Structure 1
Amino acid sequence: MRKIEQVSSQIAHQTPWMTVRSDEVRFPDGSLGTYSVLDKRDFALVIAESQEGYWLVEQFRYPIGRRVWEFPQGGWAAGKDGSKEELAASELEEETGIVAGSWSHLGHLYAAYGYSNQGFDIFHATNLTMGEPKREASEQDMVHGWFSDVEVRAMIARGEFVDSHSIAALALLDQEKQRQA
Structure 2
Amino acid sequence: MANGDDSEQVRELQARLKQLKLMTVAPTGFYGSKTTAAVKSFQSKNALTASGSVDDATWKKIQKLTKKPTADELRPPTVNEADAPDPRCMTGRVMCISKESRTLAWMIDGKIISTMDVRFGSENTPTREGVFKVDRKEKDWVSTLYHTPMPYSMFFSGGQAVHYSADFAARGYAGASHGCVNVRDKGKLAAVFGEVQAGDKVVVYW
TM normalised by structure 1 equals: 0.25
Higher helix share: 2
